[in-house]
Amino acid sequence: MTLPLDFEPRRRSLLPGTAAAANGSKLDQREAVLEAAGAASALGSDVSDVTMTINGTQQTLSVDNRVTLLDALREHLRLTGTKKGCDHGQCGACTVSVNGRRINSCLSLAVMHEGDEVTTIEGIGTPDNLDPMQAAFIEHDGFQCGYCTPGQICSARAVLEEIKAGIPSHVTGDVTAPIALSDAEIRERMSGNICRCGAYSNILAAINQVAEEQA
């Protein structure tokens, strides 16, 4: 069989070809690095400044863009009353109020809250001047270990406001009528806050007491 091309590998011809290929590869790598650097530059800094009003005080933080609101509160501002439980939005221990609405702070990035008003458990009453919900939790033993209690109280206060505002829940029968306060409504609306100690009946009693006082 005869080769179609008259090819005879020689050292003098092989080495320059290999060197040219290697040089081309280095150039490709350099271009790739420069391209990646340019893309990163176009994306901007990894750190951002965010200004929020937290418990009535304006705070400006420089945070990594990936930092959650929960970690910003706990690690940057030392507001450790807001607890980290599951860190997946399933237990409610991290519940805070943002612009009057309760959220799971572990599921929200701090940089998303520029200009927002955030209220944590530290902004709800003091040891010498308890919020009615805090006082009711104490009166009815609405906690045991207490780890979930800050989130429970933040949610409980929001639940009463949601019912007053006519925001229906999954168990609301008639969404066109004023919502009647009931144990079922409270349980449904508090279902996102888990108490591993099982103080649910006492928490329900505390919330009912505050609701009656506000009626």
Tell whether 66 and 107 lie within a shared domain: yes
Tell whether 109 and 146 lie within a shared domain: no
Tell whether 140 and 209 lie within a shared domain: yes
Tell whether 56 and 86 lie within a shared domain: yes
Judge whether 206 lies within some domain.
yes
Domain residues for the domain of 87 are 47-122
Length of the chain counted residue by residue: 215
Tell whether 174 and 116 lie within a shared domain: no
The reported pLDDT for the residue numbered 12 is 56
Closest CA to 206 of 70, 193, 79: 193
Please tell me the distance from the alpha carbon of residue 116 to that of residue 123, in angstroms, as a whole number. Answer: 15
The reported pLDDT for the residue numbered 37 is 64
Last residue of a domain, one of 104, 122, 140: 122
The reported pLDDT for the residue numbered 32 is 74
The reported pLDDT for the residue numbered 28 is 75
Please tell me the distance from the alpha carbon of residue 176 to that of residue 96, in angstroms, as a whole number. Answer: 29
Strand partners, 87: none
Please tell me the distance from the alpha carbon of residue 148 to that of residue 196, in angstroms, as a whole number. Answer: 8
Judge whether 196 lies within some domain.
yes
153: CATH: 1.10.150.120
Cα distances (angstroms) measured from residue 161 to each of 41, 172, 215: 45, 15, 12
The reported pLDDT for the residue numbered 211 is 97
Last residue of a domain, one of 122, 151, 177: 122
- Look at the pTM and tell me if it is higher than 0.85: no
Instruction: Point out the residues of the chain with pLDDT beneath 50.
Output: 3
Number of domains in the chain: 2
